[in-house]
Each structure stands twice: as C-alpha cells, then as structure tokens.
Amino acid sequence: MDPTNLVPSPDSIPAAAWIFEALDVLLFALHILVVDIVVGGVLLTIYFHLTQRKKSALQPPDSDRLPTATAIAVNLGVAPLLFLQVLYGHFFYTSSVLMATFWLLVIPLLILGYYGLYVHRRKLSGAPVLAKTFLVLSALALLYIGFMFVNNITLMYQPAKWAAYFDNRAGTILNLGDPTLVPRYLHFVVAAVAVAGLFRAAVARFRENRKGTDETATKRAGLRIFAFGSMAQALVGFVFLATLPGDFILQFLGGDLFSTTVLLLGVGLAFAAIAAALRNNLDATLYLLGGVILAMVVNRANLRMMYLEPYFTHDALEVDPQYGVFAVFLAVLVVGVGSVVYMLRMVVSKKEASL
C-alpha cells in the first residue's frame, strides 16, 4: 500500500503558512521551557526526597511552584498544539487515532499528575508518605505524557508506518520500533532536569534579591545541575542525531545550509551555556539557554520538514485568508499580555512596597 494514499487531504489555512510556523516555534519554545521546569522539577524533588539530606543544595525543593508551573505549562502547550494542527493536522490527527487509546489516557493522567502535585504540596508536612507517593505518581504520569507525545509526533512524521492500522484499529499502535524514539524522548527528559536545575538557580537569585538571604549554594547547585545535565544532553543529542535516517544526518551536517547552521548554532550555544554555568555566570547561562531552546525548536521544525518532505510541503496548503481576524487576534494578544503584565506588576510592586 502506497502510504501517500493514506495521507488525508488537508483543509485550507487562513493565513500564510510561515505565520503559523513562526507562532508554533515561538510558543512551543515557551511551552517546553515550562514543561522542563515542571518535569525536571518533579524529578529533582524526588531525588531530594530520596537522598534525604537536610542540608542539601536542593533545599528547599520545588514543591510549591510545581502545580502553578503545571498550569502554565499546559496553558502554553495549547497554542503551539493549535498552530501545529493548522499546518500538520492531517498528519497529527491520523497518528493520534492510531494510538488513540494511549493518547486519550494523557488527559486523565494529566489531571491525576496535576492533582498529585497539589496533594504533594499540601500534605508534605502533614502526611509525608502520602505526599511523596503522589509526587512519584505525578512523575510517572508526566513521564507517560511526554513519552506519548514523542510517540505521536514521530508516528505523525512517518506515513510509511501507518499501514499497521489495518491490523490494529484499537488505537494501541505506538512507534516503539523507531530507533529515534528513545533518544528523542531522553533528549527531552534530560533537558528537563538541566533546565529545572537552572531554574532553581534563577529562583534562588530572585529570593536572594528580595529577601536578602544568601543563596550562593543553591545557585551553584542549580548551575551545576544544568551544566552536567547539559553535558549528558549533548551525548543524548549526538545519539539522537546518529539514529536519524542517513540522508537527514547528511542534511544536518552540511547538506542543507539552514538546517546545518541552526544545528551548529544550537550546539554552539549549548556548549557556551555549559561553560557559563560552570563559571557560575547565571545571567549568561539564562540568555544562552534561551538561544539554545529556540535553536533546538527550529531544529526540530527542520527535522519535521525532512520527514514530511515526501508527502507534504507548505505549498500544498491552500490559503483562504482571514487577515482581519488575525489582526483581531494580535490585538487581543497585546491586550491579554498587557493585562497579564499589569497583574504581575501589581504583585511585584506590592512585594517591593512591603520590603
């Protein structure tokens, strides 16, 4: 069966494709940053409880922030998933149906994971065993969700694998045979730990600035987690690259100028970030991380187009413009972000006033 015939015909899109691609990349970068803070934060908190060191540099754990970060992570995930569906919905819905049962379980597990973080936070002093149990359950739920996203996204790229549907319509097809699956997944999980480490350092500095406490140890610990995590991440990234189909590797290594440039930029920034972290330069590390994430998200988009190239390019999408509505969206976005900033300033100024 020719997999091309299985690819659904797409609907027309209401603005130029690059707009959605750009929105997708930007918002996914923000989303994955907060996801890293949540997932990495949960894993570090588990590690903290496992080691049980009172004087740990992991003190205080992230417990307080995790539920809120989860809310923001999910919220920031909605937009890129929306824009992804505008451009690649016909691939994404198909792969989602193939793994429907596992995919839908993401929702109850997300609710469980989210509530688990609240239980963990509220019961930590009163019922520590319950709290820790829920923390582990939340971690498992979050790791499951990430794994399913990686399955779905990689399956969506590969219509050649879709024919498995004809032997299994129960929605239980996963992309387990794909050699890139595990490296790709680990690439996200390891990144999460590194980023969460760096986030701890940033929060520690925030606390330091506000309360005047000495947070040097926490900041250092966070930066070290980031540095060593990123080193591991480089290794995983290398394995991930190596498991990609041969011609994709060639494109990333000189074959395609843009892809190669972005990859080199991402890797270069990552090494620079590691170096900055090892020198305890928090600001530089944070800025560099921003660059790394953005570059890596663009990398990811480049890889997507390599996968889809035999089946689809953006030119195939008919544009049926709704720029008026787009303008309304931008206006609402400005007002919405303005309101958020207004509210946040209210909180921050309150703090400053009370200092």
Q: Does 171 bind another protein (CB under 8 A)?
A: yes
Q: Does 11 bind another protein (CB under 8 A)?
A: yes
Cα distance between residue 136 and residue 283, in whole Å: 32
Residue span 222-261 as binding mask against another protein, x where in contact by CB under 8 A, dash where not: ----------------------------------------
Q: Of 130-169, which residues contact another protein (CB under 8 A)?
A: 162, 165-166, 169
> Judged by CB, which is closer to another protein: 103, or 312?
103
Q: Does 336 bind another protein (CB under 8 A)?
A: yes
> Judged by CB, which is closer to another protein: 116, or 197?
116
Q: Does 121 bind another protein (CB under 8 A)?
A: no
Cα distance between residue 325 and residue 338, in whole Å: 19
Is the CB of residue 196 less than 8 Å from the CB of residue 225? yes
Q: Does 51 bind another protein (CB under 8 A)?
A: no
Q: Does 57 bind another protein (CB under 8 A)?
A: no
Q: Does 275 bind another protein (CB under 8 A)?
A: no
Cα distance between residue 232 and residue 123, in whole Å: 34
Q: Does 8 bind another protein (CB under 8 A)?
A: yes
Interface with another protein (CB under 8 A), residue total 68
Q: Does 343 bind another protein (CB under 8 A)?
A: yes
Q: Does 210 bind another protein (CB under 8 A)?
A: no
Structure token pair of residue 255 = 């074959």
> Judged by CB, which is closer to another protein: 56, or 85?
85
Q: Does 328 bind another protein (CB under 8 A)?
A: yes
Q: Does 89 bind another protein (CB under 8 A)?
A: yes
Q: Does 88 bind another protein (CB under 8 A)?
A: no
Phi, psi of 179 (to 5 degrees): -65, -20
Peptide bond into 159 cis (omega under 30): no
From the number of C-beta atoms within 10 Å of its C-beta (0-12, 13-18, 19+), residue 291 rates as middle
Q: Does 170 bind another protein (CB under 8 A)?
A: yes
Q: Which of 13, 198, 204, 293 is the binder for another protein (CB under 8 A)?
A: 13
Residue span 101-120 as binding mask against another protein, x where in contact by CB under 8 A, dash where not: x-xx-xxx-xx--xx--x--
Q: Does 307 bind another protein (CB under 8 A)?
A: no
Q: Does 350 bind another protein (CB under 8 A)?
A: yes
Note the residues at the interface with another protein (CB under 8 A): 5-14, 20, 68, 71-72, 74-75, 78-79, 82-83, 85-86, 89-90, 93-94, 96-98, 100-101, 103-104, 106-108, 110-111, 114-115, 118, 162, 165-166, 169-171, 320, 322, 324-326, 328-329, 332-333, 335-337, 339-340, 343-344, 346-347, 350-351, 354
